[in-house]
Structure formats: C-alpha cells, structure tokens
C-alpha cells in the first residue's frame, strides 16, 4: 500500500525534463535499456513506468500505486499482458494524475497545478515516441474520484489530437460510460476503437 504522507505541494517535485534526463542514465537497480521509469526512484509521484520498444501502447490510468521496474503491481501486469496480446512490443503506463496512492480515495482533494503541468509534459513526451501514438483509455470509474481528473483528461485529449493519436478501449464500456480498468479484464482482451470525443 502507498498512502500519501502529505499534499504534493509540501514536497519537492522534479520537473519532468530533469527527471527524464536522470531516468535515461544507467541505474544500479534496474536495466534502463528495458525500462523507462520517471522519476527513476520510488517517491510520492510518478510520471511514467513502462518498457521500451519500437511499437509501444500508452496505457492511461488514474494515478500510480506501488509499481516499479521489475516489480509491477497487478494492474500493470494486466496492462502489459493485454498490450502484448494486441501486438504491441511494449507498454508505457501513464496516469491522469501523478500522485501515488494505492487507494484513490487518498488522493489529494485539490490539484497541484505544477505537478499536473509537468505530468502533461510527460504525456507529450510519450506521444513523441510514435508517428501515430496508440492510447488505451483504462481509467474505469476512478475518473469520478476527484473533479480535477476530468480536466486532466481533456488536456491529454487535446495533446493527443495534435499528435494524431488513436484512442482505444478494452472490454465493453461500464454502465457509467467509462472505459474499463485493466485489472478486471481478461489477458486476451482485444483493444477496440474508442471515440474519445463522443465520450467527453
């Protein structure tokens, strides 16, 4: 379990570019040729965690939990299996909000504007890794946990549109209209086109 120890405004947050530069350097605890982990150490927030490849699937959840390189949690294990099953050679986990909290009810009530802006830079970086980025919307009903989360999604959608990204979902939409969370999907789930504009 990861329970936030304080609001993110009370801790030092590395700018995404600074954290990325460090993450691209050799690390004693994991293979940077295989993993992209930004920041490259366990902290109260995380921008990116995933594997490196030429054909990545960006999986978009709500917020990070305890996962780290070579220590994926159940959600990321499921995301990786489904990405590989659908023909991608790697997966990149990105979250709508970067604060770590195993239980989304522990997320901060107010958005940290700086953290949100740097997280958006992380998403822009992921989009730059492919000519036609593939994004799997995988946040489930957790999107309703905090009002600011939907604004974060809208910002990501705008960046995705500019990058000619294609959106997908796995499984049927929930009764609420939200796309399924990876944890509750079969490993052979097929990705299907997701009309993100109509969803909004």
90 and 55 Cβ atoms separated by less than 8 Å: yes
**pLDDT tens-digit readout, 131-168:** 999 999 999 999 999 999 999 999 999 999 999 999 99
**pLDDT tens-digit readout, 188-199:** 999 999 999 999
59 and 93 Cβ atoms separated by less than 8 Å: yes
Alpha-carbon gap, residue 182 to 80, rounded angstroms? 9
| Mean pLDDT to the nearest integer, 113-129 | 98
Distance of CA 54 to the CA centre of its chain: 18
**pLDDT tens-digit readout, 127-141:** 999 999 999 999 999
165 and 134 Cβ atoms separated by less than 8 Å: yes
46 and 98 Cβ atoms separated by less than 8 Å: yes
H/E run at residue 20: helix 16-23
**pLDDT tens-digit readout, 43-66:** 999 999 999 999 999 999 999 999
Alpha-carbon gap, residue 147 to 46, rounded angstroms? 20
149 and 137 Cβ atoms separated by less than 8 Å: no
Q: How confident is the model at residue 200, as a pLDDT? A: 84
The pTM assigned to this predicted structure is: 0.96
């Amino acid at each position: 379990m990861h329970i936030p120890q304080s609001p993110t405004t009370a801790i030092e947050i590395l700018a995404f570019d600074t954290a990325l530069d460090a993450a691209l350097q050799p690390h004693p605890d994991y293979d940077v040729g295989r993993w992209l982990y930004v920041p490259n150490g366990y902290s109260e927030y995380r921008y990116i965690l995933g594997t490196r490849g030429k054909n990545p699937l960006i999986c978009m959840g709500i917020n990070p939990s305890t996962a780290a390189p070579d220590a994926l949690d159940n959600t990321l294990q499921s995301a990786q299996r489904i990405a590989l099953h659908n023909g991608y050679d790697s997966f990149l986990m990105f979250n709508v909000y970067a604060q770590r909290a195993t239980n989304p009810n522990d997320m901060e009530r107010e958005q940290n504007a700086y953290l949100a802006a740097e997280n958006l830079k992380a998403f822009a970086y992921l989009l730059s890794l492919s000519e036609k980025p593939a994004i799997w919307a995988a946040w489930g009903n957790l999107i309703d946990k905090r009002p600011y989360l939907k604004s974060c999604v809208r910002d990501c959608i705008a960046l995705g549109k500019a990058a000619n990204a294609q959106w997908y979902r796995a499984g049927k939409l929930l009764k609420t209209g939200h796309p399924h969370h990876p944890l509750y999907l079969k490993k052979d789930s097929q990705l299907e086109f997701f009309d993100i504009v109509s969803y909004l």
